[in-house]
Amino acid sequence: MKITLQLPQPFLPSRPSYSSTSTSSSSSSSPAAAAPATVKVPDNGLRFREKLLYLQSLEIDPHKAVSLNPLLRTTPLPNIRSVEVCLVDDFGLPRSSFPRLFAIYPDLLTAEPSTLLPVRDFLLRDALLPRRHLRNSVLRCPRLLLSDPSLTLGPSLQYLRSLGFRRILSPRSALLLVSDVESTLKPKIGYLQESLGLDFATVGEMAVRSPGLLTLSVEKNLRPKVEYFLGEMGGEVKGVREFPQFFSFSLDGRIRPRFRVLKDSGWEKEVGLGDMLKCSDGEFAARLVDLRLRTVSVEGDGAGSSRMKLDWAGRDGP
């Protein structure tokens, strides 16, 4: 018997037909297959470059601004322009102030005019700041622009009014509105009350006459000057009560050296705080020469001290 073995044939995949007929019919029935659709993608790089050029036109370092305020990457350029318009038209700020302004507070670049305008309204309507001082108040304290009228400005204004501030009259006093009541204003008032033995109303009068008093640090300014005044100078509290600007002068730059000169000459009791500190260095030196000359002419005269004090205080005129 003869046996025949049937071996299986290898599998060969069939190739698709690329006949001209099928190709032409396929291209005619679905043209999209031959020409893929074009998807339009926004050129974000170009828009970002426009923002950088805009910041440069305001003389702002764009790369530094973006690093300090990353929101600039996604904030649309029209929004940033609206901040510029608001600051110029509503606050009266000159564009020349922008480099310094945005360098200190880069977050302003992505602020909304809807959050800036309530600050303007608060300063003019609630704080009664004269409109002519609005611009300089903001330039002196740009932080006003980022302060919430309800959370910060309002409570500060209420406390200042309890001190005697009926209205905010100047950029210097407007600066106080950004001070926190509990951590900044109250500790300073409390220290002056305790160290000088004055009541709240009297210290409030001092602050109204010299608003800069409430911008000084207790440890770096108020305490050293109070201790020097009461100690080395042997001053009476009445002196600083009547001339609270005393605390605004430099202890080492003006108060100490001028008092030492007067003390060495024996005139420390003849010259008041205001007369000692307000004049320039040249005028102070001229007054010293004048006093020395008059000391010789009135030597032995019992009224000499009074006459010298009058001459010192009267050199600036009435």
The lowest-confidence range among 136-140, 166-170, 232-236, 259-263 is 166-170
**Confidence band for 177, pLDDT divided at 50, 70 and 90:** very high
Sign of the C-alpha dihedral computed for residues 189, 208, 310 and 256 taken in this order:
positive
In the predicted model, is pLDDT for residue 228 greater than 50? yes
Decide which of 225 and 21 is more confident. Answer: 225
Are 189 and 242 within one domain? yes
The pLDDT of 161-172, averaged and rounded, is 91
Domain boundary among 178, 209, 226: 178
Residues 262 and 304 in one domain: yes
45-49, 112-116, 228-232: the lowest-pLDDT one? 45-49
- Residue 22 tokens read as 């099928």
Last residue of a domain, one of 127, 149, 178: 178
Among 111, 134, 159, the domain-final residue is 111
> In a 3-state reduction of DSSP, which class is residue 94?
coil
Decide: 117 and 151 in contact? Cβ < 8 Å: no
63 within domain boundaries: yes
Reading the block at residue 244, the tokens are 């609270």
176: tokens are 């106080």
Whether residue 14 is contained in a domain is answered as: no
Min mean pLDDT across 63-72, 202-211, 253-262, 308-317 is at 308-317
pTM listed for this prediction: 0.75
Whether the CB-CB separation of 133 and 163 falls below 8 Å is answered with no
Any domain includes 219? yes
Residue 210 structural domain: 180-248
Other CB atoms within 10 A of residue 7 CB: 5
| Phi, psi (rounded to 5 degrees) for 101 | -60, -50
Kindly give, in sequence order, each residue whose CB lies less than 8 Å from that of residue 248, ignoring residues fewer than 6 positions away.
210, 212, 213, 216
Any domain includes 23: no
Together in a domain, 243 and 275: no
Co-location of 174 and 195 in the same domain: no
Domain membership of residue 312 (yes or no) is yes
Q: What are 259-267's contacts with CB under 8 Å, separation 24+?
A: 259/232, 259/233, 261/288, 265/291, 265/292, 267/291, 267/308
39 within some domain: no
Query: Which ranges constitute the DSSP H helices of 58-91?
Result: 62-68, 77-89
Assess whether pLDDT exceeds 90 at residue 114: yes
Domain membership flag for residue 225: yes
Question: Per-residue pLDDT averaged across 163-179, rounded?
Answer: 92
- pLDDT above 70 coverage of the chain, percent: 79
> Which of 65, 43, 70, 41 is CA-nearest to residue 53?
65
233-262 pLDDT tens trace: 999 999 999 999 999 999 999 999 999 999
If one counts the domains in the chain, the total is: 4
Q: Is residue 305 in a domain?
A: yes
Which secondary structure element, helix H or strand E, spans residue 140, and what is its range?
A: helix 134-140
